[in-house]
Chains A and B, each alone.
Chain A
Amino acid sequence: MKAGLAGWCTMNWECNMATSKERQGVFETARRLALGLGLIVAAAAVLLASDLRQRKTATHAREAFSIAIFQHASRPILDDAVRGTMDGLAETGFQEGRQITYTRFNAEGDLVTANAIAQSILQGGFDLVVTVSTPSLQTMANANQGGKLRHVFSVVTDPFNAGVGITGDGPGQHPDHLLGIGTFQPVRQTVQLAKQLYPALKTLGTVINPGEACSLACLDMAQDECRRLGLELLVAQVENTAGVYEAASSLTARNAEAFLIGGDNTIEAAIESVLRAANAARIPILAYAPDHAVAGALIGFGANYYDVGKTGGRLAGDLLSGKIDPRQFAVHDVMPRKLAVNLQTLTRLRDPWRLPEDVVAAADIVIDAEGRKQERGAEPPPPPLPPGKTWQLHMVSYSQSLMVEQWMKGFQEACDRLGLRPGSDYVLTYRNAQGDMQTANMMIDAAVDSRADLLLTITTPTLEAAVHKKPPMPVVFGLTANPLLAGAGESFTQHLPGFTGICTMSDYDGMAATVRECLPKAKRIGTLFNPSEDNSVFNKEKMEAALAKIGLALVARATSESSEVPAAAQALASSDVDAICQVAGNLHDAGFPAIAQAARQARKPLFSFVSGQAVSGGATVAVARDYEQGGRDHAALMLRVMLGENPTGIPFAAISRTIIVVNLDNAAQIGLDLPAALRQRADQVVGKKQ
C-alpha cells in the first residue's frame, strides 16, 4: 500500500514538472505574478503620493543639546519647578525636541539612589545638568567635583551653606561650572505673620530631619526670629517619613500651639502625618509652601516655585547660548512670593486664631470655609493664540460609544468657549477605529504621516498605540481610564515626554465615603468584574483598597461573558453582601440592567460609577465622573499645549468634576432611607420625594 502511495505521489510530482509546456508555464506564472505585484506597487505608489509633502531634502541640523534634569522627589513644588525650568529654557530659545532633548531623573526621596543617579548623569554625556532641590544639588556637586559637567541649580534654600564650594554672593565666589539661584523660605515673615494672626501665641513646634542642610538653615533663622519676638520654638527630630507622626504628636503633648513646617523634604513629603497630629490637637500648621495650605495648613507662605524654576531655566538657556559668563555670574536669592490661606482650617482651631481681611485679600490662593479653592488670577481669559497658524488637530478614537459622544460634546463646547475658531485656528480630523486594534495603530501612523501638529487620543487602546509609536508631535489623551496601565508613565507626574492628558479614573474614595454614609452598618460590599478587562480588574482593586480604608470588605465575582452576567448578579445579590457597588468596565456597563434587576429582587442598594445608571438604569446612587466636563478639561489642556506649554511638564489629571445622582424611587423600592445630607449634596435627584 505504501509503495502504491509513493508511486502515485512520484507520478504527481512529475506531472507538475511536466516539461512539454514548460516555457509557456513560466510565462504564465510571470504574467499572473505581475498582476499582483503591479497592484501592490500601484497601491504603494498611491500611498506614497499622498505623502509627497513629507519628502525632505537632506538637512544636517545642528545636533541638539542634551540636558539632564534631576529632582529629589515627586512633590508638587519640585514638579512645578521642573515645569518652570523647561518653560524657562523654551523662553530662551531651547525648545524640547528641536534644540534640546531632556532626560529626567528622580531619586524619589532616596539619597542612595540620588548618588547613583548623580554618577550616571556624570557618565551620560550630557551638555548640562539642572538640579532641583538641595539634596540633588549636593549629590550632583559631590559627584561632579572635577567640574566635568556644567551644572545649574534652583529650588535651594541656602546655597551658601550647602557645602558645595559656594563661598559668597559675589561674582566668581563659586566653582566655574556651578551656578544657580537660592530661594530662602520666608521664615521670618511666616513667624511674624503667626504672631499677627494670634497675638497671644507663646510656643511654636517644628519637626525637622537634621540630615538636610536646608532644614537646619531654616531652623537657625526660625530660632533667631522666635527669640526676637519672645516665642519659644520646640524642635522634634526624625530620620525618615515614618517617624513624622510620632514626632509631631510629641510636640502637641509639649503644648506647642502651632506647627512651623517647611524647608525640609522629609517632612513635606509626610505633611499628611503632621496634619493628622495638628487636627487631633486642633492647632494650625504654618508652612513655607502654598500647597500645604491647600492640603489643610492654615497658611502657606512660600515661593512660587514655578517662577523659581523658570528663572533657573532661563539661566540654563543663557549659559548654553553663551550669553552669560560663569566667571561674572553671582549666585543670588530669588523669591517670587506666594501666599495661601485656608479659611476652612480656621473654623476648626482650638485657639482664637483669626485671618484679617487684608491678609486674605493679599493671598494668592484662598481655600474658603466650604473647602473650595479660589486662586487669584487663576482663570485669566486664555491669551489668544498667535495668529497665522492653523493647527492640524488629529483625534483618534478606538470606538464610538455614549461616553465618547458625551466627551466629544464637552470638547467641542469648550473649544468654542475658549475662543478657538474652527477653520482658522484649527482643523480637527477625527478618526475612529471601530474597535479594531490594527486599524487604531494605522490611524496613529496616518496622523503622523499627515503631519498633525497635535495628536488627541480618545480611549485607552488609542493611547496605547500612540505610546508605542512615540509620535514626534505632542499627544494629549482623553477618556482613558488609566494612562499608567497604558504605559504612558510611571506616575501622574513622571511620564513620557510629549504626553499629557485627562483620565477618567473613578472617584473610589468618594464612592466609599458615600456607601458608608448611606449604610453606616454595612460590612461587605459586592461587585462583578471581568478578569479579561484590564480596567475592570484595576477598578476592582482600587475599589477594594478604598473600601478597606474605611473597614469595608469587597466581595468580587468574576464574569467574562455577557451571558453569564444575570446569573452571577443574582448569585452575588443573594449572598451576604450589604450592597452592590458595581465597578466600571465595558462588559458590566453593558450588562448593568441584569445587575440592577438582581439587586432589586434581593432588596440590596446598588451603587454605580456611571450617572446614567442612577437616572434610568436602576442604580440607587451614582458617584460618577462627568464625561462632558472631561471633554472640556481635555480641550483646556490641549489649549495649554497649543499656547506653548511643554506637555512633558504637565502632570496627568483626573476629570475635574464628580457628580452625585440619587434615585429616590429606586431607594424607596428597596426600603432604603437616603441621608438628607446626601440628597442635598447631590447634583441630580431623580424620583418623588418620600
Chain B
Amino acid sequence: MLLIGSLTIGLILSLLALGIYISFKVFGFADITADGSLTLGAAVAAVLILRGVNPLAAAAAGGLAGMAAGTVTGILHTRFNIHALLSGILVMTALYSVNLRIMGRSNIPLMHSPTLAQQAGDLGRRLANGRENLLLGGWEVDIGALAALAGAALVVAAVGLLLFLFFHTTLGTAMRATGDNAQMMRAQGVHTGNMLVLGLAVANGLIALSGALLAQFQGFADVQMGIGMVVLGLASVIIGQALVGNSRFGLAIVGAVMGAVLFRLLIAIALRWGLNPNDLKLMTAAFVFAALVLPNLIRNRKRRQVVRHA
C-alpha cells in the first residue's frame, strides 16, 4: 500500500534528515559527503548481508563506515584547512570508487538474503498466526509491510532518543555550543576542530545507517542510490523547521523526522493524483519553497494583527 510504503521510506530517510540537521543546522557546515556516505552504508550492509552477517549488525557496520567517511571530511577541513564544501566534494567523489570497490559491481540485489525488512515481516506474520494480510479499517494491509513500518519507527525512535541523550551530555552540549559560537568555546578551552570532526562523524554515521536500512527495505544496493540525497535531506529539515520553529534540540529532532515523513507523503499524494510525471521535481521544489516562505508570512501577519490591536 502506498501509504505504508511512503511512511516507511519517510522514516528511514528521516535518519538522513537528522544527519543533515546535525551538520547543517548544529554546525552550520555545508556537508555534501551525504551523497557518498548514504551509498557507503548501503554498500557495506549489502555486502555483509551477502556474506551471511546478521542484518542488524550489517546495518550498524554501515553506520560505522559512514562515521569514518564523516571523520575524513572533518579532518580534511580542520587539519588541512580545505574549504567545507570542497572537503565534502572530495570525500563524496572518492566514495564513489570506494563504493564500487566494496560492492564489486554496481548493483547488489538482496532479494534472496535475509534483511531486516524480511525479518520484521516474518516476525509480524508469526505474531499474526501466519496470515499474510490484515484488514485495517476496511483496507487490506500486507503484514510484512506493516512490520517493516513498525521496525523503521522503532529504529528511528531509538536513534532519536540516543541522539537526544548524547547531545545533552557534557560532550554533546559542548558540540552544540561549538556550532553556536566557536570563538567562545575556544575561550572555554574546547578544541572546536575535534568537536566538528566528531559532529560530522555522527552526522554521516546517521546518513549511512539510513542508506543501510534503505537498501534492506528496497531489496538492493545501487552505486547511484545516493545521488541527490543531500537535497532531499535538506528539504526535510527545512519542512521540519517550518513545523516546529527554531526551537529546542529535542523538538528539532522530532521536527526533522516529521519533515522527512511529511515530504514523502506529499510526493506520494502528487503521484497518486496522477500528476504529470515531468512536473514532479518542480513540485518538490514548490514544497520546499512553501516550507521556507509560509512560516514567515504567517508570522508577519500575526505581527500586523498585534500592531492593529495595539
The interface of chain A, by Cβ under 8 A from chain B, is 1-2, 4-6, 8-9, 12-13, 16, 29, 32-33, 35-37, 39-40, 43-44, 46-48, 50-51, 54-58, 400, 429-434, 436-439, 441-443, 445-446, 448-450, 464-465, 467-468, 485, 487, 531-534, 537, 560
Q: How far is the CA of A39 from the CA of B268 in the complex (A)?
A: 14
Q: Among the listed A47, A54, A430, A431, which residue makes an inter-chain contact with B269, where contact means beta carbons less than 8 Å apart?
A: A47
Taking the complex as formed, is B25 at the interface, i.e. its CB lies under 8 A from any CB of chain A?
no
Could you jot down 9 A-B contacts, CB within 8 Å? Answer: A8-B177, A35-B244, A432-B278, A437-B224, A438-B9, A446-B272, A468-B111, A532-B96, A533-B106
Cβ of A534: which chain B residues have Cβ within 8 Å of it?
105-107
> A535 → chain B, closest Cβ, in Å?
9
Leading 8 A-B pairs by shortest Cβ distance: A1-B189, A432-B277, A36-B243, A43-B265, A55-B138, A36-B258, A532-B106, A9-B173
Q: Among the listed A48, A436, A443, which residue makes an inter-chain contact with B3, where contact means beta carbons less than 8 Å apart?
A: A48
Q: How far is the CA of A445 from the CA of B8 in the complex (A)?
A: 13
> A489 → chain B, closest Cβ, in Å?
12
Q: How far is the CA of A32 from the CA of B243 in the complex (A)?
A: 7
Q: Is the beta-carbon distance between A531 and B100 smaller than 8 angstroms?
A: yes
Taking the complex as formed, is B162 at the interface, i.e. its CB lies under 8 A from any CB of chain A?
no
Among the interface residues A47, A446, A448, which one has the most CB atoms of the partner chain B within 10 A?
A47
Q: Among the listed B109, B138, B278, which residue makes an inter-chain contact with A56, where contact means beta carbons less than 8 Å apart?
A: B138
> B120 → chain A, closest Cβ, in Å?
16
Q: Among the listed B240, B251, B269, which residue makes an inter-chain contact with A43, where contact means beta carbons less than 8 Å apart?
A: B269
The number of inter-chain residue pairs (CB within 8 angstroms) is: 162
Q: Is the beta-carbon distance between A36 and B240 smaller than 8 angstroms?
A: yes
Stretch at the interface among B73-81, B197-205, B215-223: B215-223
CB closest residue in chain A, given B244: A32
Known A9-B173, A29-B251, A51-B2; contact A449-B272, beta-carbon cutoff 8 A: yes
Cβ of B277: which chain A residues have Cβ within 8 Å of it?
430-434, 443
What mask results when residues 238 to 280 of chain B are scored 1 for a CB within 8 Å of chain A, else 0? 0010011101100100110011011001111101111001101
Taking the complex as formed, is B5 at the interface, i.e. its CB lies under 8 A from any CB of chain A?
yes
Known A51-B1, A55-B139, A449-B1; contact A400-B278, beta-carbon cutoff 8 A: yes
> A23 → chain B, closest Cβ, in Å?
16
Q: Is the beta-carbon distance between A5 and B245 smaller than 8 angstroms?
A: no
Cβ of B1: which chain A residues have Cβ within 8 Å of it?
51, 445, 449
Q: Among the listed A13, A29, A439, A533, which residue makes an inter-chain contact with B168, where contact means beta carbons less than 8 Å apart?
A: A13
Taking the complex as formed, is B305 at the interface, i.e. its CB lies under 8 A from any CB of chain A?
no
Known A36-B244, A400-B278, A429-B274; contact A48-B189, beta-carbon cutoff 8 A: no
**19 further interface pairs, Cβ-Cβ under 8 Å (given A5-B174, A32-B255, A431-B277):** A1-B188, A5-B188, A6-B170, A47-B265, A50-B269, A50-B272, A56-B138, A437-B225, A438-B9, A439-B267, A442-B5, A442-B9, A445-B1, A445-B5, A446-B271, A446-B272, A532-B224, A537-B105, A560-B100
Q: How far is the CA of A44 from the CA of B261 in the complex (A)?
A: 10
Q: Is the beta-carbon distance between A56 and B140 smaller than 8 angstroms?
A: yes
Q: How far is the CA of A464 from the CA of B110 in the complex (A)?
A: 12
Q: Among the listed A1, A438, A450, A465, which residue makes an inter-chain contact with B272, where contact means beta carbons less than 8 Å apart?
A: A450
Q: Is the beta-carbon distance between A12 and B177 smaller than 8 angstroms?
A: yes
CB closest residue in chain B, given A12: B173
Taking the complex as formed, is B190 at the interface, i.e. its CB lies under 8 A from any CB of chain A?
yes
Q: Is the beta-carbon distance between A16 and B258 smaller than 8 angstroms?
A: no
CB closest residue in chain B, given A531: B100
Q: How far is the CA of A568 from the CA of B135 in the complex (A)?
A: 58
Q: How far is the CA of A31 from the CA of B57 in the complex (A)?
A: 38
Known A437-B224, A441-B5; contact A57-B138, beta-carbon cutoff 8 A: yes
Cβ of A39: which chain B residues have Cβ within 8 Å of it?
243, 258, 262
Cβ of A55: which chain B residues have Cβ within 8 Å of it?
138-139
Q: How far is the CA of A594 from the CA of B107 in the complex (A)?
A: 27
Taking the complex as formed, is B308 at the interface, i.e. its CB lies under 8 A from any CB of chain A?
no
Cβ of A47: which chain B residues have Cβ within 8 Å of it?
2-3, 6, 265, 268-269, 272
Q: Is the beta-carbon distance between B280 and A9 smaller than 8 angstroms?
A: no
Q: How far is the CA of A449 from the CA of B5 in the complex (A)?
A: 11
Known A36-B244, A441-B218; contact A46-B269, beta-carbon cutoff 8 A: yes
- Would you list which residues of chain B between 91 and 128 have a CB under 8 Å from chain A? 96, 100, 105-107, 109, 111
> A50 → chain B, closest Cβ, in Å?
5
Q: Is the beta-carbon distance between B111 and A40 smaller than 8 angstroms?
A: no
Known A32-B243, A468-B111; contact A56-B135, beta-carbon cutoff 8 A: yes
Taking the complex as formed, is B281 at the interface, i.e. its CB lies under 8 A from any CB of chain A?
yes
Q: Is the beta-carbon distance between B105 and A449 smaller than 8 angstroms?
A: no
CB closest residue in chain A, given B5: A445
Q: How far is the CA of A66 from the CA of B199 in the complex (A)?
A: 56
Cβ of A56: which chain B residues have Cβ within 8 Å of it?
135, 138-140
Q: Among the listed A46, A437, A443, which residue makes an inter-chain contact with B222, where contact means beta carbons less than 8 Å apart?
A: A437
Cβ of A468: which chain B residues have Cβ within 8 Å of it?
111, 218-220
CB closest residue in chain A, given B248: A16
- Would you list which residues of chain B between 9 and 47 have a CB under 8 Å from chain A? 9
Q: How far is the CA of A35 from the CA of B259 in the complex (A)?
A: 11
Cβ of B265: which chain A residues have Cβ within 8 Å of it?
40, 43-44, 47
- Would you list which residues of chain B between 176 and 196 have a CB under 8 Å from chain A? 177, 188-190
Taking the complex as formed, is B52 at the interface, i.e. its CB lies under 8 A from any CB of chain A?
no
Taking the complex as formed, is B228 at the interface, i.e. its CB lies under 8 A from any CB of chain A?
yes
Cβ of A439: which chain B residues have Cβ within 8 Å of it?
267, 271, 280
Q: Is the beta-carbon distance between A32 and B173 smaller than 8 angstroms?
A: no
Q: Among the listed B109, B251, B280, which residue makes an inter-chain contact with A33, where contact means beta carbons less than 8 Å apart?
A: B251
Among the interface residues A29, A48, A51, A446, which one has the most CB atoms of the partner chain B within 10 A?
A446
Known A40-B265, A43-B262, A532-B100; contact A33-B3, beta-carbon cutoff 8 A: no
Cβ of B174: which chain A residues have Cβ within 8 Å of it?
5, 9
Cβ of A50: which chain B residues have Cβ within 8 Å of it?
269, 272-273
Q: How far is the CA of A448 from the CA of B261 in the complex (A)?
A: 21
> B19 → chain A, closest Cβ, in Å?
17
Q: How far is the CA of A443 from the CA of B174 in the complex (A)?
A: 44
Q: How far is the CA of A1 from the CA of B271 in the complex (A)?
A: 56
Q: How far is the CA of A439 from the CA of B258 in the complex (A)?
A: 19
Known A532-B100, A534-B107; contact A449-B262, beta-carbon cutoff 8 A: no
Q: How far is the CA of A1 from the CA of B186 in the complex (A)?
A: 11
Cβ of A36: which chain B residues have Cβ within 8 Å of it?
240, 243-244, 254-255, 258-259, 262
Q: How far is the CA of A201 from the CA of B269 in the complex (A)?
A: 75
Q: Is the beta-carbon distance between B188 and A434 smaller than 8 angstroms?
A: no
